[in-house]
Amino acid sequence: MAHEQLCRLGLSARAIKHRLRTGRLHRTKWRGVYAVGRPELTRLGEWMAAVLSCGPSAALSHRSAAALWGILPDDRGAPIDVLVPAAARRRQPGVFAHRGERKITHRHRVPVTTPTCALIDVAASLDARALEAAVNEADKLDLVNPETLRSALDGLDGRRGIGRLRKLLDRRTFTLTDSELERRFKPLARAAGLPLPQTRVYVGGFRVDFFWPQLGLVVETDGLRYHRTPAQQARDRLRDQAHAAAGLTPLRFTHAQIAFDRGHVRGTLAAVAARLSRC
């Protein structure tokens, strides 16, 4: 607890000293912050103590916030990142103070920046692989989905890391209209040696995006690569399983793959078409 909190509870300076002598309070390495009951602090206790040491408006931020949310692994050897008011002048050992304004919430009672703010703040310090892993983890934990995160970047030009995060998310949230999807996909099919497909027709009771009846090939597309609800995923599986049970070959690509990974799409179509032609 912070000294100010103890005072608000009605403890005088004499009462605080008495509790320190009797072992009911213990000093921490952070000035003005005490451990209650026993001197050892859990990791949550360390994070809370670091925040309390920086004043009532402080909050865990950056990599420390990402670690608290479970988005990034916790680096206990690094200073604890704390967001402090712009006018703050208090320095504490083992604390890296960041000044600015962010959206603040609480997790396990620790004041902390939101998952969206944490991801934006760490984007500049992570390489591409680590940043993608962090976004994946936040999505998997249902903390923030790629679409919401991408929308939050609008109007934030000038913040470090925004460009890299935007580039990553643009590939994940990329969605084509039906007409644009067809316009981009058909040349890939032709380049793979396939005839023109039937588009948006019903096969086995399901409307499919592309169908080659002569090959028994069905191609479905997903607008969102990484964020589909469990119900959507279950429906996708049922569709694919129904097509397979009917003797068809289902393939599934994302809109982003069709737009950005054309070589992969073309190569996959060519390999599958060659196999089906031999059957």
The CATH number, out of the four listed (3.40.960.10, 3.50.50.60, 3.30.830.10, 3.20.20.150), of the domain defined by the range 178-278: 3.40.960.10
Cα distance between residue 19 and residue 140, in whole Å: 45
H or E segment to which residue 113 belongs: strand 110-113
Q: Which of 3-12, 31-40, 102-111, 159-168 bottoms out in mean pLDDT, i.e. has the lowest? A: 3-12
For 239, the token pair is: 């569709």
Q: How confident is the model at residue 226 (pLDDT cuts 50, 70, 90)?
A: very low
- Partners of residue 43 on adjacent β-strands: none
Please give the Cα distance from 134 to 140 (Å, whole number).
10
Portion of the chain with pLDDT greater than 90, in percent: 51
> Please, which residues have CB within 8 angstroms of residue 255's CB and are 6 or more apart in sequence?
174, 175, 176, 181, 221, 222, 223, 225
pTM score, whole prediction: 0.69
Q: Name the β-bridge partners of 230.
A: none
pLDDT at 90: 66
User: What was the pLDDT predicted at 236?
Assistant: 85
For residue 119, pLDDT over 60 is answered with: yes
Q: What is the pLDDT of residues 37-91, one digit of tens each?
A: 888 888 999 999 999 988 888 999 999 999 999 999 999 889 999 999 876 666 7
Domain spans of the chain? 1-40, 42-169, 178-278
